[in-house]
Amino acid sequence: MSAAVQHVSVLLDEALDALAIKPDGVYVDGTFGRGGHSRALLARLGGNGRLIALDRDPQAVAAGQGWTDGRFELIHAPFSALDEVLGERGVTAVDGVLLDLGVSSPQLDDGARGMSFRFDAPLDMRMDTSRGQTVAEWLAEASVGQITEVLRDYGEERFAHAIAKAIATARTGGAVATTGQLAALVEKAVRTREPGQHPATRSFQALRIFINQELEELNRILPQAVNRLCAGGRLVVISFHSLEDRIVKRFMRDQARPDSLPSRLPLRADQLPPPRLRTVGRALRPSEDEVAANPRARSAVMRVAERTEAA
């Protein structure tokens, strides 16, 4: 297996345990990737179980096309299309939804995808290479203010404005079209950086999150997942970025609280509509051994919630 297709699933056993898999259950893997979680999930399903996997990356879908397990179906779609995908298949409720967020190792390690400054390649960064603008195309027309906002909001980049101005100045002499060009521009504009971190890390991360609308996609899928879970069904989310984890944490927390009603209504606490979720355990991080074996696991955080009987 080449480096371009290798991928080590993070928190694999922990995620499968958290799903509390029923042998005859119906499950969704919203981020197929290279199938690590899906393969392990199928191993725990019985003959009547079912797994529906989604991925918006055509290369990921191509990697799973050879799977012949009749319990498994892989669809080329973003996970925000969950309602549509399940509706087309007549599935009204599922027993678990797994989301392994962020970028996969094959996407980072394939220089042609343009997601890493380790390779000088076309500045693409799209997870779905069949549609949408590339980062190079967006940078060619975005204003300094727009670039600054993206770098600041999605990358928490202190030097966002200086980087944006450097990009605007550079493109007067031609498009900023490659990862190498962008990394060099950022490196010159960033005055200081945390030890061990490349000056362009935050900028590349911000542009990738923005061009793929990753946070917006996450905000769309979470309520859909809760609506589709049967009572006792589990939602398991693995995040790799503080912005993602913040969204997941707040969503699960809010859904695990009773609905708030006007304070003047004469109702007791036990008369309030019950919450739709209950959180399961605390946020879980990879062990030291897992991080040592797979350094990309170091920022992972897994959160779990279970659907209640509430309508």
Q: Is 107 annotated as a binding residue?
A: yes
Asked whether residue 159 is marked as a ligand-binding residue, the answer is: no
Q: Is 119 annotated as a binding residue?
A: no
Of 82, 44, 20, the residue nearest 234 (C-alpha): 20
As a whole number of angstroms, the distance between CA 146 and CA 149 comes to 5
CA-CA-CA-CA torsion sign (302, 308, 310, 311): positive
Q: For residue 95, what are the β-bridge partners? A: none
Integer-rounded Cα Rg, in Å, for the chain is 21
Tokens 């990009």 locate to: 167
The annotation status of 213 as a binding-site residue, yes or no, is: no
Q: Which one-letter DSSP state was computed for residue 272?
A: S
**Beta-carbon contacts of residue 211 (< 8 Å; ≥ 6 apart):** 125, 126, 132, 133, 134, 135, 138
Two structure tokens written together for 58? 């055509």
Could you give the CA distance from residue 67 to residue 87 in angstroms, rounded to a whole number?
A: 23
Q: How far apart are CA 107 and CA 114, in angstroms?
A: 9
Is 37 within any annotated ligand binding site?
Answer: yes
- Residue found under tokens 């991928």: 7
List the binding residues for S-adenosyl-L-methionine: 35-37, 55, 79, 100, 107
List the binding residues: 35-37, 55, 79, 100, 107
